[in-house]
Structure formats: C-alpha cells, structure tokens
Chain A
Amino acid sequence: MFGLSWASSYFGGAKLSKGIDAATGTVTLALADEPPQLDSSRSTDTISSMVLGHVTEGLIKNGEGGKLEPGVAERWEITDTGATFWLRPDARWSDGKPVTAHDFVFAWRKAVDPKTASEYATIFFAIKNAEAINQGKAPLSSLGVTAVNDLTLRVELVRPVPYFDKLMVFKSYNPIREDFFKATAGRYGADADKLLYNGPFMITRWVHGAQLRMEKNPHYWDKTRAKVNVLDFAYFTSDPNALINLYKDGKIAVAGLNQENLNEALVKRWPINRFQRGSVFYMEFNHRKDRPTTNLHLRRAIQLVIDPDEVVYRVIKLPGNLPGRSLFPVWLDGNQGKFREEYPATRILPDAVEARRQLALAKKELGLKTLPPLTLLSDDGALGDKMTEYFQETLRRELGLTIRIDKQIFKQRLAKMSAGDFDLVLGGWNPDYPDPLTFADLFASWNSNNRGRYNNPKLDQLVAVAQISTDVRTRMDTFGEIQRILIEDPPMVPIYEPGVVYVVDPRLKGVVRRVAGFDPDYTSVSILEK
C-alpha cells in the first residue's frame, strides 16, 4: 500500500471537490487535453491559448462583445508607419515587479529569432526587419521595436497594418521577462513555476496530464476582473461520455455535448448553450496543372450539387452548426454591422440540371469522355467518415463521378495537401485575429496555406489592397469583391461553420465564448448564490 499512499499524496487527494464551491469560490472544469507548453512565443494550439488568456496579458485585450480593451497598454496610437503604446504603470508580474516595455521587446525578438523556430513568426513580418531576422539575414537587435523608456513601446512597420490593434491581442505578442526566461534554462512555460504571470489568474499547480489549477493573481492591475478565487481544471479528457458523466455527478461545471448526449440533455431539460466557433470548413480543389479540378466548369458542377444545408441538417445533425455560404463566417464585422449582412454571399442552390450542363462543358474542355476517379483527401478529425461518404454518394448520384476517399492521420493529410496529392480535400480555417483578412488572404497565390495552389491575379490584387488600405469602407468593399470571386471561380466550396453545444451549471454566470482570441473565457465568471 506504500505505492498507493505515495501516489495519493503526490497527485493530491483533494479531487473529490464539487464542480462549483461557493464557499471557497472555486469552479472546477475539464480540459480537452494538456496544453503542450505555455511559452507564448512558440505556442500554436487553442488549449494553450485558452490557458495563456487567463494567466497572461498583452498590450490590448479582448473585451465585452468582441470589442478591444486596454490591457497592459493604457492607450496607443497606430499610424501607417508605426505604433506607440503607453503602458500602465500599475501592470505587475506575479512576483510583484512591473511589466515594462523591455519585456515586450524581449518577447517579440525571441518570437522572430530563428533559434526559437516559432511557427507564428510570420505574424510579426509587418514589423521592420522581422522577416530578415527570421531568415537569419539581420541581427536580432535590428527588429523595429524599441523601449523608449520603461513605459513606452515604439513599433516601426514596413507597411500599413489597419488591423494592428487586433493583432496585439494574439498570444505571440505577449510580454516575456528576460531575467526570468533566462533563469528557467530552456524550460520556460513547461511547469507552473517556470512561467511568470501578468494576467488575472496565475497557475499555482500543474500536474501534467491531470490538473491545472489557477488562482486569482493578487498583483493583477484590475482587481475587479476576476470574481472567483480558483479555476481548477481538474480533469484532462476529451471523451464526451466522461465529460457528461462528470457533469451529472456534479464534478465539473461545464461539459460539451455530442449527438448521443444531446438527447439525454434535452430529456433532462438542461439549459443547452450553443456557440459558433468562428472557423469555416470547406472542400478545397487542387489547381495543379495535371488535375481535372483546374477546370472551372468541373468545379462549378461540384459546387452546384453540394448542399451545405443537407450536410448540416441531415449529416451532422447537431444544433450549433451553420451551413457554409461563404469563406467569410457570419461573425465578422463589416462597416457598421456584420460583414455578411452588408455583403450577402450569393446563395448557390442545388441545381442538378445546371450541374450536369457544367460537367458536360468540363468534359468537352478537358477533352475527356469520362472523368478519371477523383481523390477526396480527409483525416480522422472533425470532418468524419459520414461526411466524406455523403460527398462520395452525392457526386456519384448527381454527376456520375467516381470518388476515392483517401483518409489519413492529420499530419499526413497536411503532408499530402502540401505535396498536392489530391483532387478534393476537406479542410478548414480558424481565424488568427478578428478581421476578414485572416480569411481573405488564404487563397492568395503567395500564401503557403493555399495548398491547392489556386492562382487568381485579380484576387491577389484585391488582397494587396485590403492588406494596406486603412479606409474601412474600401477594405470592406474589397472583401465583398473577394467573396464574389471565391464563389464565381471557386477555389473551395464552403461546407459549414462548426458550432459547439454545451451545458453550463446554472449557478455559473459569465462564461464568455469568442471566435478570435482565447476561448472559452472564464476570467470573469461568478457563482450565483442560492
């Protein structure tokens, strides 16, 4: 029994707590998986983003209703050639020392340093010399960011970035303090005591694979932001049945639902929440020379028989998902209101007759009597077997096309996409920042995420306009035009905007879900006293 008592002391026996404990102000939650690591300059995944969003803070932060709010920076000024941030004097690290402009300079240099090998280095490339440094062609100190004094940060830009304030929310731009980073000897962000916190919470306990406990950070400048004392992520599992069982047993306060659980939740009359994750899933075409999908008529024929409504309501059958109509999801802001309301996407209605006419044209242009079998590449992720089979059957029934399904693990799907080894592929995009450009440049010929090598000079031109224009109206008109091109000369067919369905303990208030930036946001949750 020695082993057992040792284990229980090591892993903490206090896990029999309630999902919501009003007496101690503790909320217990589950995490889908362990955050791989919490070094903001290298982190790429959404779970790390969520954790970092609670325990660290950048210059600007996400506020109420998708608006931006001052974070470490009290105020800022952004021009076509640069930006200046004035930091609040009362911003503190969790060891009590002030957060200074130097911490940002260090973090940003580290992020573009080739030795760091950050996958998000490109998000800095609008800053002077960032790209050259990342390619090893310029010294680190030449990066266009300087600490004028402890509380003033100046940034030099190589081109106007109309969404630079929105970029500042992104975790890669968070501060890192040099002396602390060096003291961790290459293990920064690997453990609770190997990370410095400047957010409303701090991690007080991180048992890998088992528990991540956050407590209110006493040094955080906005004392009113955190309302509960402890956010205890005490279970790491993505198993939907385990989650719902934990919820039923009162062990966790929030649980996601899947198709089977949903019925039970409905029967029990639990309050069900739904949320659009902000991403878009689509079927992408390969535009490499030897592929039949280069033919516009073939792409249009496929576009005309795929019915996003049918996918969402008859294949996925979960509430929360929206049929795909455009590469630009519904939540994006336009001039005054929502982009998609101001620039509605042309609705493509299923039309088998027109589709077959387009297919005939395609065959004629390609000089083929029958089309060769097309390969539909997919992975074991969100777009499951049911969907690929639906596409296979629909394309066979309506157009007589033979579809070969090529199912791979995620990394191999990406490798095959990059190598161009597909005709059709199911992919998607999560936004990096809340601006239409995060979607609009996806199919620009220079974008390495454009793995189907779609090449449309008109689109490239429009993307270039949207990148540097600072006039809102011009930009939105440009995005509207890009949306039109993406439907008329489709590089992809939008399938759906994924949603999640989840239950929240009725005593827990203030869970914020958001599409760009970290999600879910528990920073300001409160417990309703009964």
Chain B
Amino acid sequence: MWRYALNRLLQGIVTVWFIATATFLAMHAVPGDPMSSDRAVTPEIRKNLEAKYGLDKPLAEQYVIYLGNLARGDFGISFTQQNREVNDIIREHFPVSAILGILAIIFAALGGILWGALTALYRNKLPDIVIMFFVILGISVPSFVFAALGQLVLVKLNDLLGFSLLPVAGWGTVSHMLVPSLVLGLGTMAYLTRLMRSSMLEIINSDYLRTARAKGLPATRIFTHHQLRNAILPVVTVLGPSIAGITTGSFVVESVFAIPGLGRYFVQAVQQLDYTVIMGTTVFFGSFLVLMVIIVDLLYGFIDPRVRVS
C-alpha cells in the first residue's frame, strides 16, 4: 500500500514537471508581447522592463531559473499586479475557489447519487423520465446561462419578498455561497446522475443481488450495502478530477457573482500574457488535479477491496 502510494506520488511529480515545461514552452510560443501596453514605450523603458522581469535572458536560461524557483515554491511576481507575488494571489484566492468548489461538489455528488439511484430504481417510469429530462438540460446548458438565470431568479425573488432573502452577488457569508455553488455544481450533478444511473442498471441483474434477495435481505439493506456501494465506484473515479475541474473552471460563475476566486486570475493572466501568473496558476492547478487523481486512486482501495489486492 505505502509502496503503491509512493510510486503514484513519484509519477505525479514527473507529471507536474511535464505540465510546467509544456506550459513554459506553450506560453512563450503564444504570439503577443507581455510587455506591450496601450502606451508605446521607448526602447530604453522597454529594456528596463525586460531586465526587471528577467526576459532579457535567453529562453533556456529563463527556463533553468524558472525550474529552480519552482523547486523552491517561488512563482515570482505578477507582471500586471506588479507588487504582488503569485504565491500571494494563490494563497488569497484559492481558498475562495476551493470553498465554492467543495460546496458545488457536495451538491453535485449528493444530487447525482440520489437522482441516479432513483432513476435506476424507477427505470422507464415517470420519475426516471422527468429526472432524465432535467439531466439532459443540465448537461447541455452551459454554466453561464445557469449563472445569469440564477441571479435573475434571485433578483425577482428578493423583489417579490420585499427584502433580501439571498444576496444577488458578492462573497462573504454562507448565504453568498449557496446559489453560485449550486449553479457551479449543476453540470457535474447531471453528469454524475447519468453515470450513477447506468452503473446501477449494470449491477441490478447481477448474481450477487439475486443471491442477496434470495436469502431474504431487506430491500433497504440490499440497496445501501450491495447496490449503492458497487455502483458508486465509477462516480468516485470521476469525482476527483471533477473537484479539480470545478474548482478551476469557475471563472464564469465567479465573474457573474463577483466572487474573488482564483478562476478570474487564471483566465485573465492568459489574456494579458502575465507569464508568472500563467505559470503559477497552471502549475498549481495541475498539481492539484494530479493530487486529486492520486487520492481517488488510494480511496479506491477502501471502497473496493478488490483493488487493494492488486
């Protein structure tokens, strides 16, 4: 077990190094000049700027310096927010994205498992059809539509009630988090519902369920101990990457609800060619994703004893 964990961890480090290198190369290959701005600057000022950010050195040397800093956990200073370290940006804004993401994942996982199990139990009956209709909707409608819609509903609701039940935007209290995280989790919830449904259906005719029924186990115990536990495996598999995906992909929701998460910096940095922030956020999110996948792999062993053996 420990050997396996260590092995996975080493693989993870190599993956992160690969991500870092690929991002470094891709970023420098992207057309555009990070030092350009609205106001054209004189060649001297430009030289001063390049020297300040170490862009005057050859690319290979920049790469070595960058890897060295990376090993020390130093991502450097943002090009656009010139007095802020990338580490500060991540430290201040990632918790916000993380809280939003975790809440969204809780919504998505609980909803997905519940709805998925329900649709499987009522296969081809009315509840199945109704839920699956909404699932298709949830998968096909992009999150910015839900975000705008969610906010509009809140405005109308507050208007109707005459007082602010839930704030329409901003960040700070639990009440600020509910609607954005629900909106953020909807797509994943729909996806998990479908996944749960099909994996439930797969095992519904299996031998061990027939045996369980035959030996007279109560239906609830069959459901919780045999059906749910076996069907949940694929859901757990996608849950890890989804956590990373949701936490990193919240840019639109963050923008609509004015939430100070990391997603905004992640996207803006690319538009503004803010090299250090691009590198910092990409490597950070990359490591996060890799870590989530490793954790899921390890968790597998606990949920499914068969994995532990191999």
Inter-chain contact A415/B258, CB cutoff 8 Å:
no
Interface centre among B45, B177, B264 (most CB of A within 10 A): B45
Report the interface size for chain A: residues with CB under 8 A from the other chain: 68
Cβ of A225 within 8 Å of any chain B Cβ, yes or no, is no
Return B177 CB to nearest CB of chain A, in Å.
7
Residues of B within 8 A of A10 (CB): 95
Given contacts A119-B49, A245-B155, A448-B41, contact A411 B83 (CB under 8 A): no
CA distance A412 to B167 in the complex (A): 39
Cβ of A390 within 8 Å of any chain B Cβ, yes or no, is no
Return A203 CB to nearest CB of chain B, in Å.
14
User: How many cross-chain pairs have Cβ atoms below 8 Å apart between A and B?
Assistant: 190
Cβ of B123 within 8 Å of any chain A Cβ, yes or no, is no
Inter-chain contact B40/A449, CB cutoff 8 Å:
yes
Inter-chain contact B95/A30, CB cutoff 8 Å:
no
Contact with A117, one of B31, B49, B173, B272 (Cβ below 8 angstroms): B49
Cβ of B260 within 8 Å of any chain A Cβ, yes or no, is yes
Inter-chain contact B52/A36, CB cutoff 8 Å:
no
Given contacts A114-B48, A208-B92, contact A249 B256 (CB under 8 A): no
Given contacts A119-B49, A415-B31, A448-B42, contact A237 B258 (CB under 8 A): yes
Given contacts A236-B260, A418-B40, contact A210 B171 (CB under 8 A): yes
Inter-chain contact B39/A190, CB cutoff 8 Å:
no
Cβ of A108 within 8 Å of any chain B Cβ, yes or no, is no
Inter-chain contact A412/B32, CB cutoff 8 Å:
yes
Cβ of B271 within 8 Å of any chain A Cβ, yes or no, is yes
Report the interface size for chain B: residues with CB under 8 A from the other chain: 62
Return A187 CB to nearest CB of chain B, in Å.
5
Return A93 CB to nearest CB of chain B, in Å.
19
Given contacts A122-B45, A239-B256, A449-B39, contact A16 B96 (CB under 8 A): no
Interface centre among A44, A115, A242, A248 (most CB of B within 10 A): A242
Return B33 CB to nearest CB of chain A, in Å.
4
Cβ of A346 within 8 Å of any chain B Cβ, yes or no, is no
Q: Which of A1-9, A72-80, A365-373, A489-497 contacts B (4 or more CB under 8 A)?
A: A1-9
Inter-chain contact A42/B82, CB cutoff 8 Å:
yes
Residues of A whose CB lies within 8 Å of any CB of B are 3-4, 7-8, 10-16, 30, 34, 36-37, 39, 42, 44, 114-122, 134-136, 186-190, 194, 207-210, 234-239, 241-242, 245-246, 248-251, 408-412, 414-416, 418, 430, 447-449, 451
Residues of B whose CB lies within 8 Å of any CB of A are 31-34, 36-42, 44-45, 48-49, 51-52, 78, 80-84, 88-89, 92-93, 95-96, 99, 102, 148, 151-152, 154-155, 158-159, 164, 167-177, 255-261, 264-265, 271-273
12 contacts between A and B (CB under 8 A): A36-B82, A37-B81, A117-B48, A134-B42, A208-B260, A237-B257, A241-B151, A251-B167, A410-B271, A411-B33, A414-B32, A448-B42
